[in-house]
Amino acid sequence: MVRGLLLVLSGPSGVGKTTIAHELIRRFGGHFSVSCTTRRPSAGERDGVDYRFVSEAEFAAMAARDAFLEHALVFGRSSYGTPREPVETSLRAGELVILDIDVQGAEQVHAKVPDMLGIFILPPDEASLLARLRQRGREDEAAIQRRFAEARLEMERARGNGVYDAFVVNDDLAGAIEQVAELVGARIGRVRA
Ligand code: ADP
Ligand code: 5GP
């Protein structure tokens, strides 16, 4: 059976995962998995594009019928999950599928799909991570500070769990994209500029 590549991108909020993922899709085709979440949409986010925004009840029902490839409670408050069916369909079609998920989710996917490619995106330093979170303009300062604190814990866990094939520092965006594209190209056996 022809199988595509499952790319798991993780890293702190605001580190540049979405930006990098969209460039990969432009180069390699495939699709970006739209997660379900119980959190409320932030300013500018669109239902069905950035996330599928669902109620707690709907999320629980999906989990109960095994509709998620993985799901996790992130930041101790909101649930996030990757709908299973679109991922499996695309992989069967030989496509690239990109998941932007947290470290707990990546651990679950790694257990189920051991040949996934895991890439963790790191900020150049803490000050620039904070600046990028603010630049997104999505949340108030308290939420930004909470995400910043979470980021430290997540980076520590990622280093020790054996799920990630590479850690890429997103300092210069073009350079980070090249590094990630090279890893993806090597795995799918083709390179596109
Ligand atoms: P994530 O998906 O990880 O939350 P985004 O891709 O939404 O992050 O990026 C957050 C913000 O940082 C965006 O405004 C994006 O344009 C900006 N950004 C991404 N990479 C860089 C970089 N290397 N240098 C400066 N700003 C960047
Ligand atoms: P945000 O709320 O900033 O969009 O995302 C918060 C965190 O949730 C990020 O670390 C992001 O990678 C993660 N996330 C987004 N979708 C999913 C998902 O479907 N599953 C898991 N486990 N984490 C997700």
State the average pLDDT over residues 147-165: 92
- Sheet harboring 78-83: ordered strands across? 52-53, 36-37, 78-83, 68-74
Residues 6+ apart with CB under 8 A from 20: 9, 121, 170, 173, 176, 177, 180
CATH assignment of the domain containing 125:
3.40.50.300
pLDDT band for 138, please (50, 70, 90 cuts). Answer: confident
pLDDT band for 152, please (50, 70, 90 cuts). Answer: confident
Cβ of residue 71 lying under 6 Å from some atom of ligand 1: no
Domain count, the chain: 1
pLDDT tops 50 at residue 5: yes
Cβ of residue 110 lying under 6 Å from some atom of ligand 1: no
- From the centroid of its chain, how far is CA 155? 14
Cβ of residue 100 lying under 6 Å from some atom of ligand 2: yes
Mean of the per-residue pLDDT values for the chain? 92
- Determine which residue's CA is closest to atom 27 belonging to ligand 1: 16
Angle, vertex CA 170, rays to CA 165 and CA 171, nearest 5: 140
Tokens at 110, concatenated: 């790694």
Q: Which residue has the tokens 């300062």?
A: 141
pLDDT band for 2, please (50, 70, 90 cuts). Answer: low
Q: Which residue has the higher pLDDT, 190 or 92?
A: 92
pLDDT band for 27, please (50, 70, 90 cuts). Answer: very high
pLDDT at position 190: 56
Q: What sign for the dihedral angle of Cα 10, 14, 15, 16?
A: positive
Ligand number, closest to the Cα atom of 41: 2
What is the domain range of residue 112? Answer: 5-192
Cβ of residue 136 lying under 6 Å from some atom of ligand 1: yes
Cβ of residue 13 lying under 6 Å from some atom of ligand 2: yes
Dist. CA 123 → ligand 2 center (Å): 17
